[in-house]
Amino acid sequence: MKIYFHMNLNKISNCYVVVNEVDKKAIIIDPGKITTKIIDQIEDEGYELCAALITHNHSGHTQGLKTLRKIYDLTVYAADGFIAGAATRVIRGDGTIKAAGLNISYFALPGHSADSIVYKIGNVLFTGDTIENGLIGSTYSNYAKKMLITGIRQKILTQQDDTIIMPGHGPLSTVGAESMFNTEVSER
């Protein structure tokens, strides 16, 4: 597996292209803005983009879907069916899917938004806005914040310490670093 990082400077959000190097199939995670650099990378390397994974329905993570759908025949996976209309494969709760020949685990982690989902591919978590380097996602109530913290402790911090966290904003982290230094969720 190979992961390419792209930053959407308009919304300061992260987008990832994940490639199965065996068959050159790819998925894109949180396509906030589609740039010529992303398209050139997919086309020049001969990747077949077959799926988009959405961590939550905020424009900084979904705005590029309209462009992608004009170019590629892809399946959109998300907890909110309104993201791409009939083309969205709605996933809820916890489970697994297979896309681009990759086994992908997912789990619901509401709090930042009602439709927040974290995806796990190999030892990498794509967390959207649930957790990022030293922070947790913003919430609109104390209840949502408590629900988010509980979910992070139960579903993210229980992963192995060397599991990589690729957030929706900011630099990457690890489960071990968040367990130790993220004061909002750390129990150490």
Neighbour-count burial for 124-150, b at 16+ CB within 10 Å, e otherwise: bbbbbbbbbbbbbbebeeeebbebbbe
Q: Which residues contact 32 (CB under 8 A, 6 or more apart)?
A: 8, 10, 11, 13, 14, 15, 59, 60, 61, 62, 63, 64
Q: Is the pLDDT of residue 105 over 90?
A: yes
Does 167 or 11 have the greater pLDDT score? 167
Average pLDDT of the residues in 92-113: 96
Does 10 or 127 have the greater pLDDT score? 127
In the block, tokens 């990082």 appear at 5
Q: Is the pLDDT of residue 188 over 60?
A: no
42 three-class SS: helix
Burial class (CB in 10 A: 0-12, 13-18, 19+), 117: buried
CA atoms within 13 A on the CB side of 166: 22
Q: Given pLDDT bands bounded at 50, 70 and 90, which one contains residue 58?
A: confident
Q: Is the pLDDT of residue 97 over 80?
A: yes
pLDDT at 91: 95
C-alpha dihedral (130, 133, 138, 141), degrees to nearest 10: 80
CATH class of the structural domain 2-181: alpha beta
- Cα-to-chain-centroid distance, residue 148: 16
Q: Is the pLDDT of residue 98 over 80?
A: yes
Q: Given pLDDT bands bounded at 50, 70 and 90, which one contains residue 100?
A: very high
Predicted TM-score (pTM) of the model is: 0.95
Q: Is the pLDDT of residue 86 over 80?
A: no
Dihedral sign for Cα 129, 21, 92, 70, please.
positive
pLDDT at 8: 80
Q: Is 156 left (phi over 0), alpha (psi -120 to 50) or beta?
A: alpha
Average per-residue pLDDT for the chain: 93
pLDDT tens across 129-141, in order? 999 999 999 999 9
Burial class (CB in 10 A: 0-12, 13-18, 19+), 53: buried
- Alpha helix ranges (H) inside the chain: 36-44, 59-62, 65-71, 142-151, 175-181
pLDDT at 85: 65
Q: Which residues contact 173 (CB under 8 A, 6 or more apart)?
A: 131, 132, 133, 134, 164, 165, 167
45 three-class SS: coil
pLDDT at 13: 92
Closest to 112 in 3D by CA, of 78, 77, 92, 136: 136
Of the chain, the percentage scoring pLDDT greater than 90 comes to: 84
pLDDT at 49: 97
